[in-house]
């Protein structure tokens, strides 16, 4: 157990976001050859940091999950497909 203090209200709303963010922080580290105590201390610090990210702002601000990133109103998705208006498809053949 990492022993990080938390507010149950924050954890109820952001548990998966906190764990995802902690995983991102862990992925940036190289723990090879380190003693277990050092690894545990770093994991504690990363969980604490991830928790603080979401204790001070909403999951929508951080957008750690793909579904939230894809639906970010500040970064609208651009379509790689060409737009074909419906009325151009419905025109009878031979008429322009």
Q: 6: exposed, middle or buried (C-beta count within 10 Å: 0-12, 13-18, 19+)?
A: middle
**Cα gap 43→40, rounded to integer Å:** 5
Instruction: Give yes or no for residue 11 having a pLDDT over 80.
Output: no
Q: How much is the pTM?
A: 0.59
Lowest mean pLDDT among 30-34, 48-52, 55-59: 55-59
CA 45 to chain centre: 19
| Domain spans in the chain, listed from the N-terminal domain onward | 8-69
**Cα gap 73→75, rounded to integer Å:** 5
* DSSP label at residue 93: T
> Residue 29's closest CA among 43, 8, 19?
43
- Output the pLDDT for position 61: 63
């Amino acid at each position: 157990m990492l022993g990080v203090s938390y507010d149950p209200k924050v954890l109820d709303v952001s548990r998966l976001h906190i764990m995802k963010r902690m995983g991102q922080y862990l992925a940036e580290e190289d723990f090879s050859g380190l003693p277990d105590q050092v690894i545990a201390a770093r994991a504690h610090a990363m969980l604490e940091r991830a928790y603080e990210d979401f204790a001070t702002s909403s999951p929508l601000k951080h957008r750690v999950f793909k579904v939230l990133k894809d639906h970010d109103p500040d970064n609208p998705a651009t379509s790689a497909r060409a737009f074909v208006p419906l009325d151009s498809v419905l025109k009878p053949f031979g008429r322009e």
